[in-house]
Amino acid sequence: MSIDRRQVLLSATAFAVAGGARAATQAGTAEAKLTARLDQLGKTLLNRSPELATGLGLDKGANVGLKSQLSDVSWSAVESLTRLCREELTALRAIPDAALSHEAKINKAVAVYALELGVEAAPFNFGDNTMLSAMNESAGPYVVSQQDGAYSGMAEFLDSQHQINTKADADAYLARLHAMSRVLDQETDRLRRDAGLGVTAPDFIAQNMLGQMDGVLAVAAAESRFVTSVAGRARAKGIAGDYTALATKIVETEIYPALNRQRDVLRANAASAVHDAGVWRLKDGEAYYAWLLKQGTNTTLSAQEVHQMGLDQNRAIEARMDSVLRVHGLTQGSVSERMIALSNDPTHLFPDTEAGKVEVINYLNGIIAGCARTWPVSST
C-alpha cells in the first residue's frame, strides 16, 4: 500500500468522524445518506480501534474515552469486523453513484475499496488479515512476529503517540497498561488457534521473536519503557502521583505474566517450526498471496507482473545511471562497480573534520529546501 492510499483511507475515516456532512447534506437524499453512512462507519471503526483514534489525534472531546482503551484483538472481534465489512459494503453499493457529486463518489469508492479488502480477507482465517490491518500495512500470516504484536509495538505506541499533558492523560496511560495484558492473552489465544490450523512462524522468525521477548522480560519492570515513559512525562508536566510505582506494579503483576504466557506458546510452536517461510504452504496460500499483493500494491497485478515491472524499472534506472556515469568519464565496469568507485573518489567526499560535518549538514539542508520548493503540497 502506498503512503498516498493509506493517507486517503485514514483521512476518510477522520473526515467522517469530524463531521463530513459539512458539504453533503444539502446535495440530495442519496448524498446525505452516503455521508451519514460514512460518518457512522468512521465512528464505529474508531471505537473498534482506539489506537487509530490516538494516531489521528481524535481521542479527545466526544471520543476522550478511547484514550483509556486498547483494541479488542480476539478472534471473535475479527469475525465481527468481517461481518461489519459485509453489511457496510452492501449498504454503500445500494447508494447509486449517479445521484452523487464527484467528491462524494470518491469518498464512496475509497470506503468500498477498504471494505472489499476486509470481505476478501475472510477466507484467510488466521494471522492478522482484516480491513484495518490492510489499511495500516500490517496484514500478515502471523498474529505475533518479529515486528508485530503487542510485545514489540505497544511500548513505542504509548511513548510516542499517547500524549500526556494532564493527570487524566497519565491515568489513561495506566488504563492502557492494564488493558495490555488482556491484549497479550487474546493474541496468545489466537496463536494457539492458528497453530491448530497449521499456521506457525518459520524457525528463523520464531527464534527472533523469542530473543526479542526475552530481551523485553530481562528489563526490570521499573526500568521498562512502559514505566519510564509515563513517569518521566508526568513528572515533566508537574502531574501529581507516583506513576513509577503505579506503572511498575501493573508491569510486574499483569504485563510480564501475560508476556510469559505468550512466550510459552511461542516456544511450543517453535519446537516444530519449519524453515520454509512461503505462504504457499498455508491454506489457500496462492490466493492469500494474491490478496496480500493487492493490499500492498493497490493493483490486481500478479506476482509475475509485479516482478517483471521491477526488473524493467531496474534496467531503466541502470541505463540512466550508465549515461550519467559516462558523462563523468566512468566507462569501465558494471554500474555497481562504477558507483562504488564514484563514492570513493576523494573529489566527491566532504572533509572528515568538524567543518566537513557542518558542510554536509548545510548541503543536505539545501537539498531539502529545494525539494520543499518543487514538490507539490496537499491543501488538505
Each residue of 83-104: pLDDT tens digit?
A: 999 999 999 999 999 989 998 9
Query: Do 31 and 161 fall within a single domain?
Result: no
- Please tell me whether residue 140 adopts helix, strand or coil conformation: strand
Query: Do 119 and 8 fall within a single domain?
Result: yes
Distance between CA atoms of residues 266 and 243, nearest Å: 32
Query: Do 221 and 146 fall within a single domain?
Result: yes
Query: Do 52 and 96 fall within a single domain?
Result: yes
What is the dihedral sign for C-alpha 121, 126, 130, 133?
negative
Q: Which of 298, 332, 360 is a domain's end point?
A: 298
* Neighbouring C-beta atoms of residue 186, cutoff 10 Å: 21
Selection from 37, 266, 52, 227 nearest residue 146 by Cα: 266
Query: Do 293 and 174 fall within a single domain?
Result: no
Q: Whole-structure pTM over 0.85, yes or no?
A: no
Each residue of 311-341: pLDDT tens digit?
A: 999 999 999 999 999 998 889 999 999 999 8
Q: Containing domain of residue 28, as a range? A: 1-140+282-298
Query: Do 147 and 101 fall within a single domain?
Result: no
Query: Do 235 and 354 fall within a single domain?
Result: no
Distance between CA atoms of residues 264 and 241, nearest Å: 35
Each residue of 16-58: pLDDT tens digit?
A: 444 444 444 444 688 999 999 998 998 899 899 999 899 989 8
Tally of domains in the chain: 4
Query: Do 291 and 174 fall within a single domain?
Result: no
Distance between CA atoms of residues 243 and 227, nearest Å: 8
Query: Do 211 and 196 fall within a single domain?
Result: yes
Distance between CA atoms of residues 109 and 42, nearest Å: 15
Query: Do 7 and 135 fall within a single domain?
Result: yes
Query: Is 166 in contact with 172 (CB distance < 8 Å)?
Result: no
Question: 304: which 3 cell numbers?
Answer: 509475475
